[in-house]
A = this chain, B = another copy of it.
């Protein structure tokens, strides 16, 4: 299968990655969450080439993750802002950052810390259950078929997805 076809998979992770799974895209969004909005700011913060940046920003705008908002006429200039769809990626980025802090640390500690202004404390973002508020641990979560996979006439290449193996103990 070609990478370009992953958005056709019946899998939310694959669909999400078809939007944010390319090189640089997540780093562009990280910068957007930290307040970067203009082409040149992105370019100098990231060290990405202009060509690639232009392409990625264009795709994010097409997908509704960013919007172009004019901030100056004559010459017409736009800045790129997160939409609600883009803001929805906050948990993904924070989870990535926390994993990087915990497992890719080079001994100097975390680059950034986060203050939760609502409670005033330094926070460690934690994924929890919406129903019981306990932290979600992979061994305690069991996937089951949702509406999209209960359709009896699935395309044949998706058939293997219907068998969900149960998650058992890992090594390490």
A residues whose Cβ falls under 8 Å from a Cβ of B:
1, 3, 6-7, 10-21, 23-24, 26-27, 30, 33-36, 44-48, 64, 67, 69, 81-104, 106, 108-119, 121-134, 136-138, 140-149, 151, 157, 160-161, 164-168, 170-172
A18 contact set on B, CB distance < 8 A: 104
Q: List 27 A-B contacts (CB under 8 A).
A: A12-B99, A12-B104, A12-B110, A13-B93, A13-B96, A13-B100, A14-B27, A18-B104, A21-B23, A21-B26, A33-B138, A85-B172, A86-B172, A90-B138, A91-B99, A91-B136, A92-B96, A110-B148, A111-B149, A114-B143, A115-B143, A116-B134, A118-B134, A118-B140, A123-B131, A126-B127, A133-B133
Asked whether A127 lies within 8 Å of B125 as measured between CB atoms, the reply is: yes
- Which partner residue on chain B sits nearest A82 by CB separation? B170
Contact A128-B128, Cβ < 8 Å, known A96-B17, A110-B146, A140-B117? yes
- Which partner residue on chain B sits nearest A118 by CB separation? B140
A122 contact set on B, CB distance < 8 A: 131
A13 to B29, CA, bound (A): 10
Asked whether A91 lies within 8 Å of B81 as measured between CB atoms, the reply is: no
A100 contact set on B, CB distance < 8 A: 11-16
Copies of this chain, tallied across the complex:
2
Query: Per a CB cutoff under 8 Å, which of B82, B114, B166, B170 touches A172?
Result: B82
- Which partner residue on chain B sits nearest A165 by CB separation? B35
- Which partner residue on chain B sits nearest A127 by CB separation? B91
A137 to B88, CA, bound (A): 9
Asked whether B93 lies within 8 Å of A91 as measured between CB atoms, the reply is: no
